[in-house]
């Protein structure tokens, strides 16, 4: 089933009385920030497109969408979004470049916090999921399975934008000249070198090791991917669950 309309946080408990059947999984997006977040949705190649590829969730609201029992893809939050005088929609962080609220098969421009899922993988119905900072960070995010077995929560609940290293920081300036740190790049995005991107001679776990930059992300968010080969502490599994994805979990974030 699909919960296509906005719902107050107070009624979320009603959503989770509906257990996941063998045919589908539900993803519920909760916006605990004090500003609008526009989730983006991308199905991996060869996977069915979901009912939407992008939408808005106002502060304090939620929305749920359904995915097939066997599916893989990613979700992220876009911020600082607006439509210009020509009708083009764009976002300050996490923009997918479609020019519209729907991402229509496009992924997030880094830096962006990603929630990645493979449902029903491994031929035994097990879901695999993670929260990744490999493409940088723009928004705190928490993934919590609802129901299911063998599950664990993951995410990055810290607000890293204000403490981001200066050479990774993305700063936007307002018309008044005031500046604000709105995202934190990965070292790969900032510098493009193979040792940070785990490419070329560094394309395997024996040669690509954690850097001081990836360690910054790992120290702040121990359960999230901090670089490409950070599998051991960052990939989680679950069976027969629905998933609650919260932006700005814990203390609400303001701009």
Residue percentage of the chain with pLDDT more than 90: 81
Three-state secondary structure call for residue 91: strand
Q: Is the pLDDT of residue 3 over 50?
A: no
**Which helix (H) or strand (E) segment is 66 a member of?**
strand 61-68
The answer to whether the beta carbons of residues 30 and 247 sit under 8 Å apart is: yes
pLDDT at 74: 98
Residue environment code for 17-55, b if the CB has 16+ CB neighbours within 10 A, otherwise e: eeebeeeebbbbbbbbbebbbbbbbbbeeebeebebbbb
Q: Is the pLDDT of residue 57 over 50?
A: yes
Query: 211, exposed or middle or buried, with CB in 10 Å at 0-12, 13-18, 19+?
Result: middle
What is the distance of C-alpha 100 from the center of its chain?
Answer: 19
Give the residue carrying structure tokens 């607006």. 82
The better pLDDT of the pair 64, 4 is held by: 64
Q: What is the pLDDT of residues 201-255, one digit of tens each?
A: 999 999 999 999 999 999 999 999 999 999 999 999 999 999 999 999 975 555 5
- Residue 137 is classified by DSSP as B
* Mean pLDDT of the region 42-65: 97
Report strand pairing: 89-93 vs 141-149. Answer: unpaired
Set out the domains of the chain in order of their start, with CATH numbers. Answer: 7-160+218-247 (2.60.110.10), 169-214 (no CATH)
pLDDT at 37: 98
The torsion of the CA quartet 176, 94, 83, 53, rounded to 10 degrees, works out to -160
Q: Is the pLDDT of residue 179 over 60?
A: yes
Q: Is the pLDDT of residue 1 over 50?
A: no
Helices of type H across the chain: 12-15, 187-191, 194-197, 212-220
The better pLDDT of the pair 9, 160 is held by: 160
pLDDT at 249: 95
Q: What is the pLDDT of residues 89-142, one digit of tens each?
A: 999 999 999 999 999 999 999 999 999 999 998 667 899 999 999 999 999 999
Residue environment code for 85-97, b if the CB has 16+ CB neighbours within 10 A, otherwise e: eeeebbbbbbbbe
Q: What is the pLDDT of residues 15-53, one digit of tens each?
A: 333 344 455 899 999 999 999 999 999 999 999 999 999
pTM of the model: 0.88
Residue environment code for 99-113, b if the CB has 16+ CB neighbours within 10 A, otherwise e: bbbbbeebbbbbbbb
pLDDT at 122: 61
pLDDT band at 176 (very low <50, low <70, confident <90, very high): low
Q: Is the pLDDT of residue 8 over 80?
A: no
Distances from the Cα of 22 to the Cαs of 68, 130, 148, in angstroms?
9, 22, 12
């Amino acid at each position: 089933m699909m919960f296509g309309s906005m719902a107050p946080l107070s009624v979320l408990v009603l959503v989770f009385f509906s257990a996941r059947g063998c045919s589908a999984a539900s993803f519920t997006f909760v916006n605990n920030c004090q500003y609008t977040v526009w989730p983006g949705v991308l199905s991996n190649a060869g996977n069915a497109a979901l009912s939407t590829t992008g939408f808005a969730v106002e502060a304090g609201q939620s929305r749920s969408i359904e995915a097939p029992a066997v599916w893989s893809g990613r979700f992220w939050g876009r911020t600082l979004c607006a439509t210009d005088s020509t009708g083009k929609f764009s976002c300050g962080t996490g923009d997918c470049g479609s020019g519209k609220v729907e991402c229509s098969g496009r992924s997030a421009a880094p830096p962006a916090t990603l929630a990645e899922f493979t449902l029903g993988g491994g031929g035994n119905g097990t879901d695999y999921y993670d929260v990744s900072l490999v493409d940088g960070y723009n928004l705190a995010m928490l993934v919590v399975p609802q129901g299911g077995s063998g599950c664990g929560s993951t995410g990055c609940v810290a607000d890293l934008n204000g403490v981001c290293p200066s050479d990774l920081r993305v700063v936007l300036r307002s018309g008044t000249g005031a500046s604000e740190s709105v995202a934190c790049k990965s070292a790969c995005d900032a510098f493009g070198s193979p040792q940070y991107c785990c490419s070329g001679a560094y394309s395997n776990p024996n040669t690509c090791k954690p850097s001081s930059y990836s360690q910054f992300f790992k120290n702040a968010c121990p359960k999230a991917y901090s670089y490409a080969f950070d599998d051991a502490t960052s990939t989680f599994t679950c069976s027969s669950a629905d998933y609650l994805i919260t932006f700005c979990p814990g203390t609400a974030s303001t701009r």
